[in-house]
Every structure is written in structure tokens, then in C-alpha cells.
Amino acid sequence: MTLYVDPGVKQRRRRVAYEPEKTKRRDPFWAKLCLILGALIMVASGTAVVAPRILANWATKEIPKEDLIPDELVGENINGAIDLLLVGMDERTNSKALIRADTIIIVHIPKTHDAIYMISLPRDAEVAIPDFPETGFKGFRTKINAAFAYGAQTTEGKPDDSQAGRRRGTNLTMKTINQLVPGGLKFNGAAIINFVGFRKVLKAIGGVYMCVDEETRSVHYDKDGKYHTNEVPYYNRKIYKKGCRNLKDWEALDFARQRHFATGDYVRQRHQQQLLMAIFKKLASAGTLTDLGKVRELQKSAGSLLTLDLGKTNIIDWIFTLKSLGPENVTMIKTNGGKINSIGNGNERLSEETMQLLKAVHDDKVYDFLVTHPTWIATEKG
């Protein structure tokens, strides 16, 4: 039986494609390399016949590879349900402040491999961060985005923005989430997203089409589109009016990073998920797929955007396991139902229903959770 949830959640039947008889002429090979940042797709050209392994290696050549997943939390394979962690951060230069995660997103793909669920964890959620001997950190309860900070530090407590520091930061974030999720959680893949790298990707694809669901004022761009290091006075800030339109690369990234709203970070979570969806759609469009210049620029910019760990699964298996997924398969989910659950001091509590959602991730029953919580589904228009 096929279930239907309004709005936007569908249990899709897997389509069966019949392979045509082989002829002397081969059809062009199209490969979509899902690096699932909400899917971030690196799209390789389909205008030439290329062996899958060569194509995959070419598409990912510029992307740094790092062991981001702790050994004990590496998922065995991607034959069943798949869980990935996306950690977003700013590029840091000569900063003395610890490096906190800007965004934490769990991407869950059910064992049917016909859906992508994106679950953003509130950065201010108070959780228990475990001990981390690698940096001498003694665990305690604090905001979840501090897990990355206490992993990405030296034993002297100074920020460590090296690849090794980022690896440790992701390690401790995953250990924290594993303890947080009822039943624990193993990861099949992970990526550190550098938001500065987003600008290069957005520029390569010529911006994106987005729906501004809530009037938004920029804190760093003025009305003339000029960037300022310090906050722009309120009266002179660039305003993103409600409505759907094409946004330039810098506009899309700036819009998705604002957090001065009544519900604070929850609106920004939604906008960041919407940006990922917009990028996903643009990358999957024919205009991008057939533009060799764009494909090459995407390949070059990937290294600025991502640090990647695909766990125990090789890149070819990832390509063919996820090749049928597209933008229409993505469901964005609001934790805490999109409402602040304050416990004071700028911290908030993950609600009991959010804990049920996380258990549903472990049990591979996210669809069932959304059947009973349809208002937790975020859309591209709010």
C-alpha cells in the first residue's frame, strides 16, 4: 500500500528500467555523483563515453579526503539505510576563538533508497559532550556546536584549523550525536562544508532560484550590495523581500546565513536547507549537465567546499546506489517543530518529539514519524 502525507511526503515506488539490447554504438554515460549535502551533487559530464571509475575519480579529484568518522561509528555498507553527517563551518584565518560548528545536518536515506531526509540539529541545543582524550577535553553539558570546537583544538586549548583539527572536531561531534540518539547512530559518510566554498559553487552555476519566505535583512551587506566586515546599521541593510526569484551567488549565500528572526536559528536552518535544495536542483538541471565549462568549474571548486569521508564504501558504489535520487526525493525536517525550546542562558532543550525523530532515524522509520508530524516538514516557501 502506498501512503500519502500532505504536504510533500510520498512513499515512492521504485521504477524498473528495462535494459535495451546492446548495439555497436553505446549511449552516452551520465553520472551524478551524490556527495549528499542535502545533497550536494557533483555532476560529471554526460557528453562523452567515459568509464565510471575514471569519471568518479575525475569528479572528486580536488576534494580532500579525511577519516572524519570514528572507527567505532563507521557504518558497514550502504545496502540498507544510510546516514551521513554534514558539518558546516566558516573558513578561519588567524582567529583565537574556538571553531564552533555553524550547521549540523543529519542526512538519512531509508533502506528503500527512494528518499532523502535532511534534519538540522539546533546549534544551541544543550547536550552532553563526552570526554575526548585526543585533546584532553573533559566532557560536560553545553551547546552541541561546541563539540566541534573541543575536538578542533590543541591540547593547550587553542583552535586548530588544520585538516587534523577538523577531523577531530567532526569525530567529537559524531560521538556526541551517537550518545544523543536513542540506540546510537553509525555513519556511512560525512562531509565538512566550508561555507566560503559555497560562494564558488554558486558562482560556477550562475546563482540559484530561491523563494524568500520571510523578509530578511543582511547584517553585512548594505542597500548597494557592498560587503562590510562589521554589522551594517539596520536602516542601511540590504533587504530580501518575500517572493521567488533568481539570486546571485553572493545574495543566495548571504540570505541563507542570516539569523536575526523571532525564532532565531530555526529560520536560518530552513533557509540553509532551502539553499541546498536550490543548488541540488540547479546542478541536476540540463543547463548545468550539458555545460562543460560549468562542470569543470564545479570540479575545481569542490575542494574549497568539502572535506569528505565515504566510510567503507567506494565511490562507484555510492554513484550507483544513489543515482536515482533527485530534488523531488528530498524532504526537509524541522527539529523541535521549528520552535525555540529555551532553558535559559541562550541554550535550548531538544523536545521529546525531537528525540522520537532521532530514534526514528536509528530505526529507519522517519517516514512513519512524518505521517504523524506533517507540520514538521519544511518547504521551499517556508
* Residue 235 in this model has a pLDDT that exceeds 80: yes
Q: Sorting pLDDT into bands at 50, 70 and 90, what band is 40?
A: very low
Averaged over 49-60, what is the pLDDT? Answer: 52
Mean pLDDT of 309-330: 79
Integer Cα distance of 111 and 238 in angstroms: 44
Please, how many CA atoms are within 13 Å of residue 328, restricted to the half-sphere of its CB? 5
The answer to whether 318 and 310 are in contact (CB under 8 A) is: yes
Is 137 strand, coil or helix? Answer: strand
Instruction: Give 69's Cβ-side CA count (13 Å radius).
Output: 24
Confidence grade of residue 283 (pLDDT, cut at 50, 70, 90): confident
Contact 73, 2 (CB under 8 A): no
Secondary structure element (H or E) that encloses residue 274, with its range: helix 265-283
Res. 138: pLDDT tops 90? yes
**Annotated domain spans of the chain:** 4-378
The CA distance from 215 to 213, in Å, is 7
Q: How far apart are CA 177 and CA 188, in angstroms?
A: 14
Report how far residue 360's alpha carbon sits from residue 181's, in angstroms, rounded to the nearest whole number.
9
Beta carbons of 100 and 244 less than 8 angstroms apart: no
239 near 189, Cβ under 8 Å? no
For the entire predicted model, the pTM comes to 0.77
Give the pLDDT mean for 274-303: 73
Contact (CB, 8 A) for 379 and 13: no
Given a contact cutoff of 8 angstroms between Cβ atoms, the answer to whether 116 and 325 are in contact is yes
Mean pLDDT, residues 22-48: 32
Q: How far apart, in whole angstroms, are the C-alpha atoms of residue 237 and residue 114?
A: 42
Burial zone of 64 (CB within 10 Å; 0-12 exposed, 13-18 middle, 19+ buried): middle
Q: What stretch of H or E contains 230?
A: none
Q: What is the pLDDT of residues 251-279, one digit of tens each?
A: 998 998 888 887 767 788 788 878 878 88
The answer to whether residue 45 scores a pLDDT higher than 70 is no
Let me know: does 161 contact 152? Beta carbons within 8 Å: yes
Quick one: how far is CA 3 from the chain centroid? 27
Q: Is 60 exceeded by the pLDDT of residue 24?
A: no
Q: What is the mean pLDDT of residues 337-364?
A: 91
pLDDT of residue 320: 74
- Please tell me the distance from the alpha carbon of residue 29 to that of residue 281, in angstroms, as a whole number: 20
pLDDT in tens, 144-171: 999 999 999 999 999 998 889 989 999 9
Give the HSE-up count for residue 201: Cα atoms under 13 Å, Cβ half-sphere.
Answer: 27
Question: What average pLDDT does the segment 54-62 reach?
Answer: 60
Looking at domain 4-378, does it have CATH number 3.40.630.190? yes
Which whole-number Å values give the CA distances from 25 to 19, 46, 49, 50, 116, in the listed order?
14, 15, 10, 14, 35
For the chain, the farthest-separated pair of C-alpha atoms sits apart, in whole angstroms, at 69
Q: What is the pLDDT of residues 77-135, one digit of tens each?
A: 899 999 999 888 866 666 788 888 888 989 999 999 999 998 989 889 999 999 999 99
| pLDDT score, position 47 | 28
